[in-house]
Amino acid sequence: MSDPRIKKFAQLLIEHSARINPGDRVLLEATTAAEPLVRELYTQILEKGGHPHPMLMLPGTLPFIQDDLFLANANHRQLDYIPPFYKLAYEEFESRIRIHSATNTRAMTNADPEKNQRYSKVLGQLTQTQFRRGAEGSFKWVTTLFPTDGYAQDANMSLSEYEDFVYRAVHADQDDPIAYWQSQEESQQAAIDHIQGHDQVILRGPNVDLTLSIKDRIFKNSTGVFNMPDGEIYTGPVEKSVNGWVRFTYPAIYGGVAVEGAELTFKDGRVVEAKADKNLDYLQKMLETDAGACYLGEFAIGTNSDIDRFTGHILLDEKIDGSFHMAIGAGYPETGSVNKSAIHWDMICDLRTDSEILVDGDLFYKNGKFAF
């Protein structure tokens, strides 16, 4: 018997996130483990008059053609090759829906960091196209997740518990998920109204002592258009304004590799020192990807109260209510960010204990809650 939440989930993605119209060409990126959701999306896109184009991978692999088999066997020429269908879709299609659905989340643990870095530069060209066309409004992209045993194990849950967690986080367990996300947009806008147009942001706490500028930058209200689940407000900080340090309280995961105890020190916007308890070499290698990899492309505050624990998947974890996250690498042009990089690596810091955010000297956030 099919899970009725999957149908609501697909409807939410098509009508609220990707906003599919008749004639839209839609790239569906997933593994075969997400078959129930892919089938439902395929059907509903057709009903909307769109043209679904599924690109399915083996269930053990990670999304977006990054997998252990490829990196283990590809030579430099193959690593530098841009897959032509993906290039066509990202440059010309009206939409893409990516479904994280790996069954083996440790597939990339022992991948060669140099190969990973090299291939990230190729994929970064597609990411830049995605960001540019998304900012222009000509490419309606959304990234989501389908519950698998691998993700459930990472979150220390049974599969059924994890399914409940995910569908609650996207609100596919409600009668009208779209109405929920519309109401969330209003409440998050209140926070944006209090921070937009200011300059200096100071973050203080046991794991952070950081200053940055948001002068002339635009905060975006993230309620399910680009990510699902969602729940955050974000911007691109002024690139050379970041000073201080932050120790990320959760593992920083990128390309299937978990960097534990990551700590970054910034001077005039640039990462000048990196520490980690595990996989420091990988962190340092990724920071060397290109000139923009050691600058921040994003500063954000998570607001999803239904995501109340770390699960090991960034799509969920960066939305944890009471946390903030920053991304080294590529920024979103629609925020005013001009930082360009082949990578965009989100890292999360908890602010629920003895922590605060000041905006131009006024208290804005205290112990995981907005203070206005």
59-68, 293-302, 343-352: lowest mean pLDDT where?
A: 59-68
**Given this structure, which CATH class describes domain 4-170?**
alpha beta
**How confident is the prediction for the chain on average, in pLDDT?**
93
317 token code pair = 């974890």
Helix residue ranges, H only, the chain: 4-12, 35-47, 68-73, 76-79, 84-92, 113-136, 149-154, 159-170, 177-195, 280-287, 314-317
Name the residue type at position 7. Answer: K
Residue 311: alpha-carbon gap to chain centroid: 14
CA-nearest of 245, 196, 194, 209 to 356 is: 209
Residues 324/351, Cβ–Cβ less than 8 Å: yes
Provide the whole-model pTM. Answer: 0.86
Name the residue type at position 172. Answer: A
Rounded distance, CA 173 to CA 292, Å? 40
Rounded distance, CA 113 to CA 345, Å? 15
Residues 6+ apart with CB under 8 A from 132: 333
Instruction: Examine the pLDDT at 303 and tell me if it is beyond 70.
Output: yes
Positions of CATH 3.40.1830.10 in the chain: 4-170
Rounded distance, CA 245 to CA 231, Å? 25
Q: Which residue has the tokens 């691109």?
A: 236
Instruction: Examine the pLDDT at 67 and tell me if it is beyond 70.
Output: no
Sheet of strand 208-213: strand arrangement = 270-275, 263-267, 243-247, 208-213, 200-205, 356-359, 362-366, 369-370
Over residues 184-243, the pLDDT tens digits come to: 998 899 999 999 999 999 999 999 999 999 999 999 999 999 999 999 999 999 999 999
Distances (CA, A) of 255 to 113, 119, 348: 10, 11, 16
Over residues 133-178, the pLDDT tens digits come to: 988 889 999 999 999 999 999 999 999 999 999 999 999 999 999 9
Q: Break the chain down into helix, strand, coil percent, rounded to 5.
A: 35, 30, 40
